[in-house]
Amino acid sequence: MKSNVFSQQRKDKIKLIRSVCEGIILISLLVIIIRSLLSFSEYEPYDQNIISNTTDTGFIAVSYFGVDRNGTDALISTDRLNKHLKALRDNGYVTITQQDILDYYEKGKKLPEKSLFLMFEDGRTDTAIFSQKITEEYNYKSTILTYADKFEKEDSKFLKPNDLKDLEKSTYWELGTNGYRLEYINVFDKDMNFLGRMNSLQFSEAAPNIRRNYNHYLMDFIRDEDNVPIESYEEMKARIDYDYETSTRIYEEELGKKLDLYTLMHSNTGQFGTNNRVSKINEKWIKDLYKMNFNREGYSFNTTENSIYDLTRIQPQAYWPTNHLLMRVAYDIGKEKEINFVVGDESIAANFKELSGKAEYNNNLITLTCVPNGKGVLKLLNSDDFKDINLKVELKGNILGSQSIVLRANEDNSSSVRFQLTNNVVSIVQKLNGNEEILFKKELDSVKKEFDIKDEGDRYINIQVNGDKILLYVDDELMANDIKFDNSLNRPGAVYLESSWDEYGYSQKNIADDVYDGIFKNLIITDSNGKELYSNELKGIKKLKYVTKTCFDNIINWFVKNL
């Protein structure tokens, strides 16, 4: 009898302890979530003492499509956004306001040497929620852009007038507009099938099959599949007039004021539309209603040589590593040597010599960012005597672009044998005194002929070099068997990693993004006897820490999504 009572008391005690532990864990998670989402501070303007009264340094404008906690192909993750903004802050960038821009152009006011104008587009609720704590941490003030028609629709994904008023009160936000609606006209899919006019939801669903042939609602006449206008000049003008008049009325009714900042979507035409007559109507409305207009995208740097109605911004893509953004900014401002790029784990970096581009070393990843329209090149130190080797690596850079592994390179890398993955095509190339010859070439997954700039790559590569022959596996499939190369290369030589953008980087979202990031994961090199020569694979305590952190982050993400 006593043992039964004792057993029950023990069970009750265990239940109590378990309940207390579960409660502590839940409360801790709740505190973490609240701290990560809610604001408890106010924005502090930059110190006036950092302004140079003699030098005009202009400003950069960075604009994100939106923010998602985990990230999507279009919305940047909170982790990546945090890294982007931290890097800008570490480089000395401070945010400026709309009033600063007005004073810069209208009164000749000087700005801080490193001035950043930060924007978030499309007025998404999750953008405001997930970016607030990050911008707060770096004391960054941002402008949130909205579409006026979203105020009239019951869609919780988009901010409403009361939300915008609360954001302004927080002191970390200003308001701007993309106009009345997000719609597209004259849309063709990648096979040149005519899709016509589409709202944002329809366009989003069809986006995988749409490339460059479309236009924003305010950019042109509405046309048929033969590119013939189906509306008269008067009808086109009335359509465009309606959007400007309606958006202005809605903002005045809902917010009690006009907005000063406008962003004309998908312009980049050198004017205010792809058609001259359309452009003149847009120009009139923009200059009558707004004090400034971001008219271009793809380039970040603005100076007094710009018109305040022809400002430009860069739109970082969700997949951009930090050094990609920094590389674009560095070359936009023409001061690439003054930007401090992110290195990551310096103990891993010590194994490589950086010859071109910039590399970030993080856990088992080496992210090699090329210079614009050029290469990123790393040499593995102490690899000059590598000869017969087995190399394994996962290549995780985007499909459009080039990632290479150079083997048996001589001192100046003028002679070597190279594996290359470019735009989903694998090749083996020998180079003799600078002259290249393709020994093997094969397209992967030839069913899909066209890729988007954001399509992710993931290939497991195994290269075996023995004597004057090379054997290649891709995703555990034998791709090339005993490809023979010139006997002069049958000698020891160094290992290099390379990345490059292989074609002009045009897209509707990135007008000239010719920067590419090669991503090398779990690089392992062994000799012909299986002895490890180099590895950046996670092992032991490092692997345990990485797995633990990943699991904890997944738990937090689950709570944020489901609470």
pLDDT in tens, 271-301: 888 899 999 999 999 999 999 999 999 899 9
Asked whether residue 40 carries a pLDDT value surpassing 70, the answer given is no
pLDDT digits (tens, 9 = 90+) for 106-128: 999 999 999 999 999 989 999 99
DSSP state of 75: S
Coil, strand, or helix at residue 216? strand
Instruction: Report how far apart, in Å, the C-alpha atoms of 430 and of each of 355, 419, 490 are.
Output: 21, 9, 12
Q: Which contiguous run of DSSP H or E holds residue 465? A: strand 459-466
pLDDT digits (tens, 9 = 90+) for 133-188: 999 999 999 999 999 999 988 788 999 999 999 999 999 999 999 999 999 999 99
Gap between the Cα atoms of 349 and 281, Å rounded:
55
Neighbours of 242 (CB within 10 A): 11
Banded pLDDT at 504 (limits 50, 70, 90):
very low
pLDDT for 301 = 97
Higher pLDDT residue, 143 or 12? Answer: 143
Q: Report whether 318 contacts 309 (CB < 8 A).
A: no
pLDDT digits (tens, 9 = 90+) for 136-151: 999 999 999 999 999 9
- The pair of structure tokens assigned to 397 is 């850079």
Asked whether residue 529 carries a pLDDT value surpassing 50, the answer given is yes
- The pair of structure tokens assigned to 389 is 């080797």
pLDDT for 52 = 77
pLDDT digits (tens, 9 = 90+) for 60-96: 999 999 999 999 988 999 999 999 999 999 999 999 9
Q: Which long-range contacts (CB under 8 A, 24 or more apart) does 149-156 make?
A: 149/180, 149/181, 149/246, 149/247, 149/250, 150/123, 151/250, 151/254, 152/250, 156/125
User: Distance from first CA to last CA of the chain, Å, rounded?
Assistant: 46
Q: Report whether 117 contacts 61 (CB < 8 A).
A: yes
Gap between the Cα atoms of 398 and 515, Å rounded:
12
pLDDT digits (tens, 9 = 90+) for 190-208: 889 999 999 988 988 888 8
Banded pLDDT at 11 (limits 50, 70, 90):
low
Higher pLDDT residue, 9 or 499? Answer: 499
DSSP state of 532: E
Mean pLDDT of 411-425: 96
Asked whether residue 238 carries a pLDDT value surpassing 50, the answer given is yes
Mean pLDDT of 476-502: 96
Q: Which of 397, 476, 403, 468 is nearest to 430 (CA)?
A: 468
Gap between the Cα atoms of 353 and 49, Å rounded:
39
- Amino acid occupying residue 146: T
Q: Which contiguous run of DSSP H or E holds residue 215? A: strand 215-216
Asked whether residue 505 carries a pLDDT value surpassing 50, the answer given is no
Banded pLDDT at 212 (limits 50, 70, 90):
confident
Q: Which of 112, 126, 160, 119 is nearest to 140 (CA)?
A: 119
pLDDT for 12 = 65
Neighbours of 129 (CB within 10 A): 19
The percentage of the chain sitting over the pLDDT mark of 70, rounded to a whole number, equals 87
33-47, 246-260, 296-310, 367-381 — which is least confidently predicted? Answer: 33-47
Q: Report whether 358 contacts 326 (CB < 8 A).
A: yes
pLDDT digits (tens, 9 = 90+) for 312-337: 999 999 999 999 999 999 999 998 88
Asked whether residue 25 carries a pLDDT value surpassing 90, the answer given is no
Mean pLDDT of 398-409: 97
pLDDT for 506 = 45
pLDDT for 444 = 92
Alpha helices in 76-199 (DSSP H): 78-90, 98-106, 125-137, 161-169
Q: Strand pairing of 94-95 and 311-313?
A: unpaired
DSSP string, 425-437: EEEEEEEETTEEE
Could you tell me where the beta strands, DSSP code E, fall in 217-337? 261-263, 292-297, 301-302, 311-313
Query: How far, in whole angstroms, is CA 501 from its chain's centroid?
Result: 16
Instruction: Report how far apart, in Å, the C-alpha atoms of 154 and of each of 126, 144, 151, 160, 557 are.
Output: 16, 20, 8, 9, 26
Mean pLDDT of 244-255: 97
153-162, 257-266, 509-518, 533-542 — which is least confidently predicted? Answer: 509-518
pLDDT digits (tens, 9 = 90+) for 455-488: 899 999 999 999 999 999 999 999 999 999 999 9
pLDDT for 521 = 98
Domains of the chain by start residue, with CATH: 38-182+217-322 (3.20.20.370), 343-535 (2.60.120.560)
pLDDT for 339 = 96
Asked whether residue 38 carries a pLDDT value surpassing 60, the answer given is no
The percentage of the chain sitting over the pLDDT mark of 90, rounded to a whole number, equals 74
Banded pLDDT at 508 (limits 50, 70, 90):
very low
What distance separates the 2 farthest-apart alpha carbons in the chain?
A: 96
